[in-house]
Amino acid sequence: MQQIIDLTKPIKEYPDDPWFMKVKIKHKPHRKAKWLIRLFGLPFKLFPKSFVGWADDTIEKMGVHATTHIDAPWHYTPSLNGEKAKTIEQIPLDICHGEGLVIDMCHKPDFDPITAADIQSFLTENDLELKPGMIVLIKTGRDKLIGTKDYPHRGTGMSAEATRFLIEAGVKVMGIDSWGWDIPLKYQIKKAKQDQNDQLFWEAHLVGQHEEYWHMEQLVNLDALPLSGFKVGVFPLKIVGASAAPARVVAFLEEA
């Protein structure tokens, strides 16, 4: 028997989200459709007796990075290895489903980047192995901040070396339950200015300027998963030319 675990953040308006994450959905009640159908030419007397109209909904505002989503290489760079970087509709579907692995980094404090050594130590301690084609999920526990003002501004995140470590192991799709793949954006800016270092900002994302990979952000419910022994499916909306797309991400567990 198979259990399905939803790893996707609900798409709705969160009042404390910053302006760049705002989602606005207009829900249209059933009764409004009756007048639309009448305008199409169907007399009221011919409406089915049980019909009160159809409900409808319009997404009035939602950026492709505003909820659980997967980034395409185009998000990181316009070109990759001499060719135009792939946009989200070009993701190979065969890498969107595969064996899953959770790497637990909940012990990492806010603003302390996850290193390759952190990942290797975790794998060794738990007798786990990275395999080509795996979908690796980085658990930080920061999904508990969703809906609060702190969500975009707190948490750990991946370093460039940790991202390369996964890619070199044959991992093409990876994800995290923090707001972003790197450490929080405001802290990146503060640290880069403080150290006068032009290599710090967006360092993990920018690995994608040289190595093709795809990462998910704003996952949830990684606590519900074992470290291994499950599969992951992540299929983004087919938005032509986009840098990312919302995705319904789920894990499949085989139960005894």
At 138-190, the pLDDT tens digits run: 999 999 999 999 999 999 999 999 999 999 999 999 999 999 999 999 999 99
| Domain spans of the chain, in order of start | 5-11+66-254, 23-61
pLDDT tens per residue across span 20-62: 899 999 999 988 877 778 878 888 888 888 888 889 999 999 9
Q: Where are the beta strands (DSSP E) in the chain?
A: 2-6, 23-28, 56-62, 69-71, 79-80, 83-84, 97-104, 135-139, 173-176, 214-217, 230-236, 244-254
CA-closest candidate to residue 102, choices 140, 136, 141: 136
Query: Is the pTM above the cut of 0.85?
Result: yes
CATH number of 5-11+66-254: 3.50.30.50
